[in-house]
Structure 1
Amino acid sequence: MNFLDKMERKYGRYALSHLTMYIIVTYIAGYIIQLAAPIMRQYLTLEPYYILHGQIWRLVSWILIPPSSLDIFTIIMLFFYYSIGTSLERAWGDFKYNVYIFSGILMTIIGSFLLYGILYAVNGYPSLMGTAFSTYYISLSIFLGFAISFPDMQVLLYFIIPIKIKWLAYLDVALLAYSMITSIMSGNWAGCVVILCSLANVLVFFLMTRKGKRSSFQQNRRRKEFKKAVSRGEAEYRNPNGITKHKCAICGRTEKDDPNLEFRFCSRCNGNYEYCQDHLFTHEHVK
């Protein structure tokens, strides 16, 4: 049993349920503040200089600053992040998801003070960082966590193009790497500190649990075994008459539609409900 499992046994009862919903609510509250009293934004940012001078609320208030401006695409993204966030909660459990999110918030705060110290040492006087640290990276960490756990999940890019979520994650990582390289080449080390500290929870969490690596290995092994079974025509997966044996209760796909699909029964649903690999962890449990 790894460290997180031991911690969950001791403190799991204190974990917040529906944490993704609370995150989305804070974003909505931030948009309301921006529309109703935009001048308040400057009192919410994560600024170590002001925190050290008594404005302690900034340690928490920066979470109210939404990751982007409000438009129709932002509303769609909020629904998207709510969907993938709640899926992670179901797959990991409340405690591990809490650790993942709150460790990201804590590392962001630590990173802000680290950057403040660097700027103070270089400039010789206190520096303000504006909104260098924002909730954008919290949302991105949720997306990357989902992509690592469910790399083969398909989404519709621009509502038209089906694409596996892992390719979108690769694109995000490439853009982050490019941003870090350009920051280094321009001498802007502050940009690297912001990215590394804000997303350190992604690296630390998956190094501790190795969840992504373990899931990927088991999934690839099961896929290979399934392909071998299909090629041999074993009755375990399909009977001699070609009648399908597995069918997803959500999308209706069977092993005839895609031989690579894996099917499992959900132990938390009341009744014999079978789901494909894309909906096993994302469906609503039947009670």
Structure 2
Amino acid sequence: MLGKQIQRLERKYGHCALKNLIKYVIGANIAVYFLSLADPSGRLPAALVLDPQLVLRGQVWRLVTFVAIPPATGVLWLFFALYFSYLVGTNLENAWGAFKFNVYYLLGMILTIIAAFLTGSPVGASNLNISLFFAFAHLFPNFELLVYFVLPVKVKYLAMLAAAVLLFTILTAPLAAKAIALVPVFSYLLYFGSDIWQMLRLKNQVRENRRRFFNEIEKARRRKE
């Protein structure tokens, strides 16, 4: 849906794109994690979370720093989470180019900020990361991941599972959680909505052509009889 607009923006501002964006995000996550080890009270991550009430009191850095909060507390899980973020981010940037990836990431941040202010709830970057995963699954649906290092599962099936969890959240959770859960949905649809629409139209056209083909065969058979 945003394809043409992004192309126009890229022609004008493509030189401003930050290459290897995901590496900077991962670096910030690692820095926050190790700095937090010196203060187990959790004050540092708490100072970075996107809290709209505190932003309105002047803590405007929270509009950006929430993406630096580590997605896990254990070293092993943090390693795997950040490695997966690296895998997703670098592949998206290679497929799209730095500018388009920057815009998609920024779009996820903006939608997260909007959802936080609409609900008044503090949020992190988890749903922003899910939006990246959905984009990755769209572009590389047959990419296989080893779940628990044993079971090979295609990314598209994991994305379906994540989508089911989001749908359940949207249907059953309180309003604030619904709004936050919609962030990856809107990010994905704004970027891939036109592709999905074209694909559905093509499938419908193929189905219609097949129906007409078999109808013509049936008519020819009846004429022969």
Amino acid at match of 1:64: A
3-state SS in 1 of match to 2:101: helix
Which residue of structure 2 lines up, in the alignment, with residue 10 of structure 1? 12
Identity %: 36
Given candidates 51, 57, 62, the residue that maps to 1:53 is 57
Matched residue pairs, number?
Answer: 197
Unaligned 5+ segments in structure 1 are: 117-128, 222-287
- Does 2:46 correspond to 1:42? yes
Mapped partners of 1:16, 1:212: distance in 2: 31
Given candidates 152, 158, 163, the residue that maps to 2:153 is 163
Kept in 2, the 8 Å contact 1:85–1:142? The answer is: yes
Mapped partners of 1:152, 1:212: distance in 2: 21
Mapped partners of 2:29, 2:87: distance in 1: 15
Mapped partners of 2:180, 2:6: distance in 1: 26
Which residue of structure 1 lines up, in the alignment, with residue 22 of structure 2? 20
Mapped partners of 1:213, 1:148: distance in 2: 14
Give 1:211 deviation, angstroms: 7.8
CA distance 1:155–1:43, shift in 2 (3 Å): closer
3-state SS in 2 of match to 1:53: coil
Which residue of structure 2 lines up, in the alignment, with residue 135 of structure 1? 125
Kept in 1, the 8 Å contact 2:141–2:155? The answer is: yes
Residue pairs, 1:64-75, within 5 angstroms: 64-75=68-79
The TM-score normalised by the length of structure 2 is 0.80
Residue pairs, 1:1-287, within 5 angstroms: 2-37=4-39, 38-116=42-120, 129=121, 131=122, 133-183=123-173, 188-197=174-183, 199-207=185-193, 210=195
CA RMSD of aligned residues (A): 2.2
The TM-score normalised by the length of structure 1 is 0.63
Give 1:30 deviation, angstroms: 2.2
CA distance 1:65–1:77, shift in 2 (3 Å): closer
Give 1:33 deviation, angstroms: 3.0
Mapped partners of 1:98, 1:173: distance in 2: 23
Kept in 1, the 8 Å contact 2:127–2:183? The answer is: no
Give 1:202 deviation, angstroms: 1.7
